[in-house]
Amino acid sequence: MVRYQDRLYHVANRVMDNPDDALDVVQDAFVNAYQSLASFKGDAEFFTWLYRIAFNTAISAKRRKRAVVSLDAGVGRNGEAGIDPEDRSADVAPDSALERTEDERMLAAAILKLSVEHRAVLLMKDIDGLKYDDIAELMKVPIGTVRSRLHRARLELRNLLDPESTGSEQVVASQD
């Protein structure tokens, strides 16, 4: 558990978008893995097998969980509205840190708008750095499906972040 819990937590947190839910998912994934240990045949790396269990557990939990609006959204540590800049170094202007935080928030929101399949492939490839073969094995789909979903996810993400590019990107996508 110590060896893999941090990596699995990051995966679960990206899917769940809630740290507490991600902790629950990781715990459930380890319980599921322990109960299924006899089914591990060694065809894949142990982490790949464990990652699949954690990812599937997160997806299942996300589907079960209904969207809940937090009343605390946008409230700071002291109950004040606003955001503390992440980078507090003297070399960085406060407005650039706030801009970066806003960009990160917009990116995270756009990623959450992707379908579960597109989000999963995008996160596994671009964030976790998994290989196409590993993603295909984890999702139990052909490698061509992985490539197609990744391409579509990137186009959709680009269109969500820059709606003005929608027309030109669709032309490019149809030429591929």
3-state SS track over 60-125: HHHHHCCCCCCCCCCECCCCCECCCCCCCCCCCCHHHHHHHHHHHHHHHHHHHHCCHHHHHHHHHH
- Which pLDDT band, with edges at 50, 70 and 90, does 149 fall under? very high
Is 19 part of a structural domain of the chain? yes
Is 75 part of a structural domain of the chain? no
Of residues 123 and 87, the one with the higher pLDDT is 123
Is 77 part of a structural domain of the chain? no
Is it the case that residue 19 has pLDDT exceeding 70? yes
Q: How far apart are the first and last CA of the chain?
A: 43
Is 118 part of a structural domain of the chain? yes
Global pTM value: 0.50
Same domain, 97 and 51: no
Query: Domain count of the chain?
Result: 2
Same domain, 96 and 52: no
Same domain, 5 and 59: yes
pLDDT given for residue 131 in this prediction = 87
Is 108 part of a structural domain of the chain? yes
pLDDT given for residue 98 in this prediction = 60
* Most confident range, picked from 47-56, 138-147, 157-166: 138-147
Is it the case that residue 30 has pLDDT exceeding 80? yes
The enclosing domain of 42 has a CATH number of 1.10.1740.10
Close Cβ partners of 151 (under 8 Å, ≥ 6 residues apart): 173, 176
Is 4 part of a structural domain of the chain? yes
The enclosing domain of 102 has a CATH number of 1.10.10.10
Is 33 part of a structural domain of the chain? yes
pLDDT given for residue 46 in this prediction = 87
Q: Calculate mean pLDDT across residues 15-23.
A: 87
CA distances from 172 to 3, 146, 167, 169 (A): 43, 19, 9, 5
Task: Specify whether the CB–CB gap between 28 and 55 falls below 8 A.
Answer: no
- Average pLDDT over the chain reads 76
Write out the residue range of the structural domain in which residue 134 sits.
91-165
Is 173 part of a structural domain of the chain? no
